[in-house]
A = this chain, B = another copy of it.
Amino acid sequence: MPSPLRNGDLRSPAAVLRQIPFQSTVSEQKLRRLNILILILRFAAFCFSLAAAVFMASNSSRSHDSHSWLHFPTFRYVLAANSIVAVYSLFEICAAVWEILKSETLLPESVQLWFDFSHDQVFAYMLLSAEAVGTGEARRLRGGGACDASGGFCVQAYISVALGFSGFAFLALSGLLSGFRVACFVITGSRFHL
């Protein structure tokens, strides 16, 4: 069904003006809700990626063979990717809180929208690839029998990878919303069309 807004050119100017106050109140409420949803997703991505980074960084076996994440390039990649996503999410949380409080974006609107979308996409792909190779490495360690001597190391690596996958899921959802905002901006000239 076509939106009634598409027939705007058939309405009289007075009718258009009468609609504006009502629409803007409803729109503001929806806009606020969407901003809060984005904030929640960012916060979840931050928590999970930070937890994944901490779990991986503290993952050193205390037994005689002394496994450590430092000896595995893939686990170093997992730690780096999760740390980058945690820092980025923290910045985005600040930007989202600023937007909710001040009703305007931290950076100029178009810059902020394209920045959010491009970084969400790139970091989501980076985090997914890190978790994928991390899973491969953890499976290989278990298959090679390395987990028998130092079970704690393998379990902690698995937990870190699982937390990283959760962080990726929330980041990908944020990416969908920021993509929608960019498309709104390109099509209508406003970052929200609700």
Contacts and interface: CB of A to CB of B under 8 A. Distances in A.
Copies of this chain present? 2
A71 to B, nearest CB: 12
Contacts of A3: 188-189
Interface of A, secondary structure class, is helix
A17 interface: no
A122 to B, nearest CB: 10
Contacts of A125: 128, 172
A179 interface: yes
Contacts of A1: 189
A89 interface: no
Contact of A189 (B2, B130, B131): B2
Interface residues of A, number: 29
A6 interface: yes
Interface in A69-118: 73-74
A60 interface: no
Interface of A: 1-3, 6, 73-74, 121, 125, 128-133, 135-137, 139-140, 172, 179-180, 183-184, 186-189, 193
28 contacts: A1-B189, A2-B189, A3-B188, A3-B189, A6-B188, A6-B189, A74-B136, A121-B172, A125-B128, A125-B172, A128-B132, A129-B129, A129-B131, A129-B132, A130-B132, A132-B133, A133-B135, A133-B136, A136-B136, A140-B140, A179-B179, A180-B183, A180-B186, A183-B184, A183-B187, A184-B187, A187-B187, A187-B193
